[in-house]
Amino acid sequence: MNFAREEKKGRFIATIAIFCAIFMFFSFRIFKIQIIDGKSDDKANTESVDTSIVKATRGQILDCNGKVLVGNRQGNDIIFNAASFPSTSKQEERNKIIISLIRLFEKNGQDWNDDLPIIIDEKGNFVFEEDREKDITEMKSRDMLRLNKYATADDCMNALVEKYKLQDFNKVEQRKIASVCYEMRAKAFNTANPYTFANDVSNEIASVIKENSRTYVGVDVEVVTYREYTDGEIAPHILGVTGVINAEEYADLKDDGYAMDDILGKTGIEAKYEENLKGKNGVKYVSTATDGTQTTEIKGLENGNNIVLTIDSGVQKVAQDSLKALCDSMTTANSGGGAVVVMNCRTGEVLAIASYPTFNLSTYYDDYTKLATNTDSPLYNRALLSTYAPGSTAKVSTAIGCLEEGLITEYSTKYCGYYYPYKGHNFVCQISHDDNNITVKTALQDSCNSFFFYYGGEKLGIEKLNMYRELLGLGQPTGIELPENVGVLDSPSYRTSIGQTWQPGFSLQSAIGQAGNLFTPIQLCNYVSTVANGGTRYSAHIIKSILSSDNTKTILNNEPKVVTETGFSKTNLDIVKAGMRLVVTKGSCKSNFGQLDVAVACKTGTSEVDKIINNKTVTCTNGFNISFAPYDNPEIAVAVAIEGATSGGSCAPVACDIYNYYFNKTTVTDEDDETQEATEDTVDSDLIG
């Protein structure tokens, strides 16, 4: 009886097990058919997936008010797509397409990318292009033509003609086709790396190529973005230029996702903030199903961030125009160049940086050869890189040092008798004073050398003098985000470093801004800003903020940064500023600044420099003017440096124009409104502060 009961129980368990097995089998079949095989069917339905790079749109650069200074526009590039362009085994077909394109472009006066370092001279001979030694060496290398280093231009062309089967073309066409074929190889033309035959071509030529796709097999029109400038003459040294990445740059940046035909910032803000402006290229996936249906998906694309500058484009334009007018009016042997810096003395924000001679960003590459060979160096940013003996503008720092050390008070005097005897030498003042008993205020007003020779050179001494100048930022980095020259703060140790001996009279010369001191215009502006605001030296900066590409997110908000609290006595600074005010009310700048609605305080300076002009050593002068306004509640500071100016007072008109604009500007004109609407969207004012 117990045995039968156990047998019945076993059959029941077996039945349940069989039922579960059958259920699991059918469940798995359903899962396989609907899920696993369903995915396989999706793959089977897709005939092909093509991928291509989608270039990120470069970020914009805007002024402090949100006005677009550098934006983007769309243009057409003509590229060769290796997936459909004839392979190297069909070189003759390649040549037909290339020469047909060249003829089309030349017929329509359109440039194409011709970079072969071989040209045909006026006698019809192949010769190497000048200043292309590096490219010529590369062309002869083992990786390219495998020629010895002594190979001539003819030898190179013979190798190119043979390699690319150009025997049936004339000499001129051989060189043109060879140029394209050579560059295709040099730039590693393949399915993942298209070759750009021409940039920024007209819509008409793009249409011809599209309409004749059977003739131009593998030649595509790619819509890309190009840099566009609201005004190419505004702040070109600051904004900078972009250009196609070169071989050396590509070698350094390829691991960061750069392609061989990518655009790269070369100078200025474009270069300094390349990482922010560039963005990240994406990949476009085009899936084609067996029924011909296409689906497109773009992954990984991130457009570049927008850079908001502290530059006020209105102030910048006034500074540039006024600087140009004054420099052009100079007739001395050393005339022709200058710089202006305008700074918010309460924050260190730079409102304008102008350098003259200058250039136009819109025509930079067209004008490059002329610009690069111009002896006046228009590509050089004098405001940040040129250093000058500051002349009497340095006397402000000398006065502060003497007051702070207790060597003088507001009422201390020094008699000036024109000559200042010192250790067997007669130093000269050159100023005719109304009262020869000079105080620190009248010493600043009249720029009396004798006062500063005695109290600054003899009593204060070079060590203390330089301590105060360092606190004021002279001969020190200003913190500006672009490359700058630190300059020279003359001292015994500096003279030793250049193999010279410090002479006793150097301290006297340094006290009046001569000797070996060399400062940049932006240092002079930062220096006078520190005096104006009561002794706080801010880091100079030109970046206000960095915003996301759609302006919805703030990546960086640049707050004012204090470098040094000098701790100078307010009483002493007020004495110095009162002396600077006298330069305007009673001194050399009365006729200029005295006509303004706003009260200005300033200090002028003139320095001498020896230059070689027409193979002769000529002693020339440079003029400087540092100022701030309003006098009672300083807001902005201006530093002007003019090469060839005979006095610091002659530089004042530039600062006057800037103050007149800044303190009297009204609302934007209708013309400005139209210009603004024509550009891309400006940044919301709440985002830029």
The phi and psi torsions of 477 (rounded to 5 degrees) equal -60, 140
Digit-coded pLDDT (tens) for 12-27: 566 666 666 666 665 6
SS3 264: strand
Digit-coded pLDDT (tens) for 195-214: 999 999 999 999 999 999 99
Instruction: Please report the pLDDT score of residue 22 as a whole number.
Output: 62
Q: 10 pLDDT exceeds 60?
A: no
Whether the bond between 421 and the residue before it is cis, its omega within 30 degrees of 0, is: no
Contacts of 254 (CB under 8 A, 6+ apart): none
Digit-coded pLDDT (tens) for 361-389: 999 999 999 999 999 999 999 999 999 99
Q: How confident is the model at residue 281 (pLDDT cuts 50, 70, 90)?
A: confident
> CB neighbours (10 Å) of residue 65?
16
Average of pLDDT values for 452-477? 97
Instruction: Please report the pLDDT score of residue 206 as a whole number.
Output: 96
Q: 666 pLDDT exceeds 70?
A: no
Q: How confident is the model at residue 683 (pLDDT cuts 50, 70, 90)?
A: very low
**What is the percentage of the chain residues whose pLDDT exceeds 70?**
89
**Residues 195, 83: Cα–Cα separation, whole Å:** 12
**Residues 634, 248: Cα–Cα separation, whole Å:** 48
Instruction: Please report the pLDDT score of residue 546 as a whole number.
Output: 98
**Residues 105, 518: Cα–Cα separation, whole Å:** 53
Contacts of 485 (CB under 8 A, 6+ apart): 384, 385, 386, 387, 520
**Residues 464, 212: Cα–Cα separation, whole Å:** 78
Structure token digits, residue 510: 């340094």
Q: 620 pLDDT exceeds 90?
A: no
Check: CB of residue 285 under 8 Å from CB of residue 49.
yes
Check: CB of residue 563 under 8 Å from CB of residue 471.
no
Instruction: Please report the pLDDT score of residue 46 as a whole number.
Output: 59
Average of pLDDT values for 42-68? 82
Check: CB of residue 285 under 8 Å from CB of residue 293.
no
**Residues 419, 129: Cα–Cα separation, whole Å:** 61
Q: 313 pLDDT exceeds 90?
A: yes
Output the CA angle 86-89-95, nearest 5 degrees.
Answer: 55
Instruction: Please report the pLDDT score of residue 680 as a whole number.
Output: 39
Average of pLDDT values for 39-51? 61
Average of pLDDT values for 315-330? 95
How far are the Cα atoms of 152, 216, 324, 636, 669 from residue 235, in angstroms, in the given order? 44, 42, 13, 19, 21
Q: Is the dihedral of CA 50, 53, 57, 59 positive or negative?
A: positive
Instruction: Please report the pLDDT score of residue 9 as a whole number.
Output: 55
Q: 676 pLDDT exceeds 50?
A: no
Check: CB of residue 230 under 8 Å from CB of residue 69.
yes
Average pLDDT, the chain: 89
Instruction: Please report the pLDDT score of residue 681 as a whole number.
Output: 42
Instruction: Please report the pLDDT score of residue 608 as a whole number.
Output: 84
Q: How confident is the model at residue 290 (pLDDT cuts 50, 70, 90)?
A: confident
Comparing CA positions, the residue from 645, 604, 605, 640 lying closest to residue 622 is: 645
Q: How confident is the model at residue 3 (pLDDT cuts 50, 70, 90)?
A: very low
Check: CB of residue 624 under 8 Å from CB of residue 474.
no
Element (DSSP H or E) covering residue 196? strand 195-201
Strands 543-547 and 306-309: antiparallel
**Residues 46, 288: Cα–Cα separation, whole Å:** 6
Average of pLDDT values for 587-598? 92
Comparing CA positions, the residue from 18, 177, 50 lying closest to residue 106 is: 177
Asked which of 41-50, 83-92, 172-181, 281-290 is least confident by mean pLDDT, the reply is 41-50
Average of pLDDT values for 261-268? 92
**Residues 616, 643: Cα–Cα separation, whole Å:** 18
Check: CB of residue 330 under 8 Å from CB of residue 208.
no
Q: How confident is the model at residue 604 (pLDDT cuts 50, 70, 90)?
A: very high
Average of pLDDT values for 252-277? 92
Q: Is the dihedral of CA 640, 644, 398, 516 positive or negative?
A: positive
Instruction: Please report the pLDDT score of residue 577 as a whole number.
Output: 98
Average of pLDDT values for 521-542? 98
- When comparing pLDDT for 8 and 305, which is higher? 305
Cα of 136 vs its chain's centroid, Å: 30
Instruction: Please report the pLDDT score of residue 39 as a whole number.
Output: 47
Q: How confident is the model at residue 6 (pLDDT cuts 50, 70, 90)?
A: low
Structure token digits, residue 220: 């595509």
Average of pLDDT values for 316-339? 89
Average of pLDDT values for 598-602? 97
Instruction: Please report the pLDDT score of residue 611 as a whole number.
Output: 73
Instruction: Please report the pLDDT score of residue 7 as a whole number.
Output: 54
Q: How confident is the model at residue 261 (pLDDT cuts 50, 70, 90)?
A: confident
Instruction: Please report the pLDDT score of residue 181 as a whole number.
Output: 97
How far are the Cα atoms of 53, 512, 666 from residue 226, in angstroms, in the given order? 17, 51, 33
Instruction: Please report the pLDDT score of residue 682 as a whole number.
Output: 42
- DSSP codes, 346-369: TT-BEEEEEEES---GGGHHHHHH
Comparing CA positions, the residue from 396, 397, 638 lying closest to residue 521 is: 638
